[in-house]
């Protein structure tokens, strides 16, 4: 007998949620859950381990997802059908789907210094010019890139860092296009 | 006169003895003729038989000698053939071994040349990469020393403009 998949529950969740505001709530609820899951090792171990009973997992989920009933019910159903691992494995895919429904673009910006407010504002405004105002921007500091910026826009990767350009030179040399 | 009597006496004496001898011989001939004849006849036959047997032995020996000679000739020819065959096989084997040795020698020579060539290419690439790594390390150090916030902002602005141009051209 075919059983339900995570995608079936997800379709039910999104079709049940009519307004953008509710989808927004679902999205933030799921994002919050995923963030907590990724950060807290004890929660992660409890949720993916079959040793713990479903009731414990559902209690834990209800403590994490406080402000969105639909998200909580969705996650509870996932746990009841033993599909939590599948959902966790493809969490980015479902979050991306929700962002697509919301018309939102997630951008992860990597730069060398996050203390320069002026620079961050310049980056934000430039990104809004390119991908619109409905953006979910997160900043990350990495001194190893030496300078410039790296953008991860959903599935696309834009490397404008100095280390990226240096690595390009390395690749050129591996192809034998110039001799040292 | 006395000498004449003696001579007659002597002659008479000799004649009597000669007669006795003849009589004796006659008696001997009469009684021993058959025996002697038979003896010599049987001896003659025995000698004939022995000669015949000897002839037979000689002919058999000759025949055996001929057979042996033939066999020896046959063995000799077989030996010669075998020796020739062995010589031919040995020559062929030696030729094969020499060919193989030459082929292997040539192959080892070519392989060694290839290995040396590849090793030299690899070493050259290693050295190039080493030099490049050092150059990159130096460049990184120089960039770190030289970079400041204003340059970084210019770099970021330039890159974002480039991304924007690409986004416009793609859309």
Secondary structure of A128-142 as H, E, C letters = HHHHCCCEEEEEEEC
Whether pTM > 0.80 for this model: the answer is: no
ipTM of the complex: 0.75
Closest listed residue to residue A142, CA positions, set A127, A122, A161, A167 = A161
Interface of A with B (CB under 8 A): 111-113, 116, 118-119, 122-123, 126-127, 129-131, 146-149, 151, 158, 160, 162-163, 166, 169-170, 173, 179-180
* Angle at the Cα of B52 from the Cα atoms of B51 and B56, rounded to 5 degrees: 115
Residue A115: is its pLDDT beyond 50?
Answer: yes
Rounded CA-CA distance A12/A87 in Å is 15
Domain count, chain B: 1
What is the arithmetic mean of pLDDT over A104-117? 89
Cross-chain residue pair B163–A160, CB shorter than 8 Å: yes
Cross-chain residue pair A146–B131, CB shorter than 8 Å: no
Task: Name the residue in chain A with its Cα closest to that of B121.
Answer: A176
Round the average pLDDT of chain B to a whole number and report it.
Answer: 90
User: Is B70 or B149 the better-scoring residue by pLDDT?
Assistant: B70
Sign of the alpha-carbon torsion through B159, B160, B163, B168: negative
User: Is A15 or B21 the better-scoring residue by pLDDT?
Assistant: B21
Share of chain B above pLDDT 70, in %: 96
Alpha-carbon gap: B128 to the closest alpha carbon of chain A (Å): 6
* Structure confidence at residue A165 (pLDDT): 86
**DSSP line for A55-115:** HHHHHHHHHH--S-HHHHHHHHHHHHTT-HHHHHHTHHHHHHHHHHHHT-EEEEEEES-S-
What is the arithmetic mean of pLDDT over A15-25? 78
Confidence of residue A180 (pLDDT cuts 50, 70, 90): very low
The whole domain housing B7 covers 2-170
CB A96 within 8 A of CB A106: yes
Round the average pLDDT of chain A to a whole number and report it.
Answer: 85
Residue with tokens 């004496």: B13
């Amino acid at each position: 007998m075919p059983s339900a998949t995570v995608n079936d529950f997800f379709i039910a969740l999104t079709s049940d949620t009519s307004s953008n505001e509710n989808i927004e709530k679902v999205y933030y609820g799921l994002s919050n859950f995923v963030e907590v899951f990724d950060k807290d090792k004890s929660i992660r171990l409890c949720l993916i381990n079959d040793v713990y009973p479903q009731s414990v997992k559902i209690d834990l989920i209800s403590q994490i997802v406080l402000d969105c009933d639909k998200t909580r019910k969705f996650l509870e159903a996932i746990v009841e059908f033993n599909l939590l691992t599948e959902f966790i494995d493809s969490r980015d895919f479902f979050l991306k789907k929700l962002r697509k429904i919301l018309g939102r673009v997630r951008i992860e910006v990597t730069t060398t210094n996050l203390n320069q407010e002026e620079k961050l504002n310049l980056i934000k405004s430039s990104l809004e010019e390119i991908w619109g105002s409905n953006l979910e921007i997160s900043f990350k500091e990495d001194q190893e890139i030496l300078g410039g910026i790296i953008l991860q826009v959903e599935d696309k990767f834009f490397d404008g860092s100095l280390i990226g350009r240096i690595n390009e030179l390395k690749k050129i040399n591996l192809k034998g296009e110039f001799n040292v | 006169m006395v000498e004449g009597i003696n001579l007659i006496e002597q002659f008479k004496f000799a004649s009597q003895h000669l007669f006795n001898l003849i009589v004796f011989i006659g008696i001997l001939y009469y009684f021993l003729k058959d025996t002697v004849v038979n003896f010599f006849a049987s001896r003659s036959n025995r000698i004939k038989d022995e000669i015949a047997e000897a002839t037979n032995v000689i002919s058999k020996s000759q025949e055996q000698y001929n057979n042996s000679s033939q066999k020896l000739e046959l063995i000799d020819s077989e030996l010669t053939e075998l020796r020739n065959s062995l010589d031919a096989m040995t020559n062929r084997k030696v030729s094969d071994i020499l060919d193989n040795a030459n082929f292997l020698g040539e192959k080892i020579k070519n392989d060694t040349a290839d290995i040396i060539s590849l090793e030299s290419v690899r070493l050259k690439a290693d050295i190039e990469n080493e030099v490049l790594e050092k150059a990159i390390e130096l460049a990184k150090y120089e960039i770190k020393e030289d970079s400041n916030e204003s340059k970084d902002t210019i770099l970021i602005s330039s890159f974002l403009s480039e991304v924007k141009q690409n986004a416009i051209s793609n859309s």
